[in-house]
Structure 1
Amino acid sequence: MTLVLDAQVTDTEWAQIVDRISRRRFFGGAAGVAAALALSACGSSDGESDSASDTLPYTWAEFSGDVPRDPRRVVVLDGRVDLEFAMMMDYPIVGSGNFWFPDAKAGFQFPGRTIEDASFVNVAGDFSTNFEALLALEPDLIVITAIGYTSDWYGTERLSSIAPLLVVGDDVEPIAGHPVDWRGALMAQASQLDRVTIAEASIAGYDDKLARLRPMLQEKLGGKKIVFGVQTPTGFLVHQRNLRISVALDAGLDVLFRDDDNAENSFELSFEQLDTLAPADVIIAQARDQEALDAIKSQPTWQRLPAVQAGNVLTSDARYNQGFALTAAIFLDVLEEAAGRITAGQ
């Protein structure tokens, strides 16, 4: 039986589940227990003991706790921001959430970095955690996004009873009043984990790519008004502040409807209001699903938009909405594609 829990499970039910799993492990793994006892009897070196128990104090957003300096079995729960952060910290990842991409392997969105042997710990399309799968991975660190932690999407209290938590986010506090500052967030978190050099290298990789592409992006897209958003079954959600917009600003581009002070980071348009997008020269949108894509394409108000008529609409997906240097570098490729689209249409 697969045990999939949400935050509504009672403490008594949780205790019973852990007891069942513990008993199954004990009776099914007698040889492993015997081997562990034998190793314990022989003793271990001080270096090994220190390595396993060495921790660092860490604070981010509403979270504060101790995390292992050098974790050996790391599980991430969303598969985007938390996964990218764990990758950049060179953590050994054994499990991942897979809410967004049910048919793909963990890390596929980062070219050359797919984690072939990582197991999944949730049901695709559902934030509920498969605790049986999670416990079987025996993590010594669980990485969780700040929004997942504060919203208690995954059952934070129960997660913390399995392994230490590491809460990460791709923006600095306060979350408004400035563009998304993924660099500042990355460095602030990495410095607490004694991994500044790794973080600096990843930022340098992005900056190098930006320096290479920025002149071309300025030439082709400079002065063009760009809209970012999400095509929905009932309209269009306009993004005003996220990582994609920060990358566009790095490239010196003009983002229509940008608003660093809107705590909601977006506003929604109905099909009847799509003419609000008429000033846009380029629309870079993500589709929640094929239904949303089909629905908006059939709307006369969408078809009349100048960007649509010029063929200057690019559709991407949710992997580029948030993250750090890896995601930002990939989104530069999307902007490069947009520049090519503009050139082809001229």
Structure 2
Amino acid sequence: MTVLDRCLPPAPMPLSDDVTRRRFIQGVGAVGLTWVLAGCGGATPVAGEQAPAEGDTVTVDNRFGSFQVPREPQRVVGWEGRRDLETALALGLTPIAVGSNALGDDRQPAPFVPVDLTGVEVIEQTEPDLELIATLTPDLILTRDSNIEELLDRIRTLAPLVPVGGDGPWRPELESIAAALRREEQLSGPLGEYDRRRAEIQQRHADRIDSAVLAVVQYQEGTFYSSATDGFYLQANTLADLGGTHLPFLEEGGEAFTGDGFSAERTSELAGADAIVLITNTPDERSLLDASPLWQQLPAVAAGRVVESDFRTNYGSVYAAGACLDLLDRTYATLA
């Protein structure tokens, strides 16, 4: 019987096949554990270690339950991916494990995320390894609940949980989590830098921000996707934060575009944009779009007022939003 078997109720879904007792033992030695899980009551200190004193924890209540979280968490796991990784870093916490959604094809985070993940465990999102997480003995797990409903009862026994990464705007969520964990002071650096850069861009492009209409679109497999400025796409959220104007066609379409998109046959709907923020994931997709006569006929395209990004700026927290500020700065500059 493994640590996970002793601690957790029956699993609603099987663990991955490659989780074996041998891997578990090796994992314990690799991470140098000083804590082991006992029963279903959480973590128990090994001989020679002391559990945190009551004054060293804060009570955090959220939709997952009520938890005692260390004031200085040392073993933070970012379960889901991009936004929880950025949240941990903004709060001055260094994760010991991150979700694979936080990484690109090169198994590295986006260049705008200030972290070196050398030696950090990666949790595959498609088949979460609960046994591995148990060996890490986290003292805080940051996670979304939208993709892990069936696992929540099991995860709750591993460590305190804090929800991160809902569909709402990143800033109120980040500030709320900082307040709950009593780490507001940690935000002064990253939020201060974001606000400074935003003000600088607003001053530099004041007239263009007041008069220009931008379109934020992602092109993938013959379909355009977007969202309203209060929807999923962080580039559109940041445009609103700057005080800019989104193309009404995209704003009126709202969240429906995120899921369904609109076909390339409707490319002419983007003709009202003075400049375009284009998200593409591969050079081949960009080449296909550039070969489209409908795309080439758009005024913004013909005038060279298109700035390209990739999916890594679609979603995140303060660091991805900062990258979106840079993206929009370059987009407004095409209107000079």
Query: Which one of 237, 241, 249 corresponds to residue 246 of structure 1?
Result: 237
Question: Relative to structure 1, is the Cα distance of residues 41 and 159 closer, same or farther in structure 2, using a 3 angstrom cutoff?
Answer: closer
Partner of 2:53: 50
RMSD of aligned alpha carbons:
3.5
Q: 1:235-293: CA deviations, max 9, x gaps?
A: 21122234322321232211113548945464621111111111111111211334432
- Tell me how far apart the structure 1 counterparts of residues 244 and 14 of structure 2 sit (CA, whole Å): 53
Partner of 2:91: 89
- Consecutive unaligned residues of structure 1, counting only runs of 5 or more, are 1-8, 34-38, 173-179
- Following superposition of structure 1 onto structure 2, how do residues 51-66 of structure 1 map, counting pairs within 5 Å? 54-59=57-62, 62-66=63-67
Task: Give the counterpart letter for 2:328 in structure 1.
Answer: L
1:317 aligns with 2:310: yes
Question: Relative to structure 1, is the Cα distance of residues 229 and 261 closer, same or farther in structure 2, using a 3 angstrom cutoff?
Answer: closer
Aligned identity (percent) is 23
Please report how far the alpha carbon of residue 106 of structure 1 lies from its aligned counterpart in structure 2 after TM superposition.
Answer: 3.9
Partner of 2:25: 24
Please report how far the alpha carbon of residue 229 of structure 1 lies from its aligned counterpart in structure 2 after TM superposition.
Answer: 1.7
Please report how far the alpha carbon of residue 32 of structure 1 lies from its aligned counterpart in structure 2 after TM superposition.
Answer: 7.6
3-state SS of paired residue (1:211): helix
Question: Relative to structure 1, is the Cα distance of residues 136 and 310 closer, same or farther in structure 2, using a 3 angstrom cutoff?
Answer: farther
- Tell me how far apart the structure 2 counterparts of residues 293 and 76 of structure 1 sit (CA, whole Å): 32
Query: Which one of 219, 228, 237 corresponds to residue 216 of structure 2?
Result: 228
- Following superposition of structure 1 onto structure 2, how do residues 53-132 of structure 1 map, counting pairs within 5 Å? 54-59=57-62, 62-69=63-70, 70-99=72-101, 100-106=103-109, 108-110=111-113, 112-122=114-124, 127-131=126-130
Partner of 2:198: 210
> Are the aligned partners of 2:112 and 2:319 in contact in 1 as well (CA < 8 Å)?
no
How does the TM-score come out when normalised to structure 2? 0.77
Question: Relative to structure 1, is the Cα distance of residues 107 and 232 closer, same or farther in structure 2, using a 3 angstrom cutoff?
Answer: closer
- Consecutive unaligned residues of structure 2, counting only runs of 5 or more, are 1-9, 35-44
> Are the aligned partners of 1:128 and 1:153 in contact in 2 as well (CA < 8 Å)?
no
- Tell me how far apart the structure 2 counterparts of residues 104 and 20 of structure 1 sit (CA, whole Å): 27
Question: Relative to structure 1, is the Cα distance of residues 15 and 276 closer, same or farther in structure 2, using a 3 angstrom cutoff?
Answer: closer
- Tell me how far apart the structure 2 counterparts of residues 209 and 253 of structure 1 sit (CA, whole Å): 15
- Tell me how far apart the structure 1 counterparts of residues 28 and 330 of structure 2 sit (CA, whole Å): 56
Partner of 2:178: 190
Task: Give the counterpart letter for 2:159 in structure 1.
Answer: A
- Tell me how far apart the structure 2 counterparts of residues 23 and 340 of structure 1 sit (CA, whole Å): 54
How does the TM-score come out when normalised to structure 1? 0.75
Partner of 1:176: none
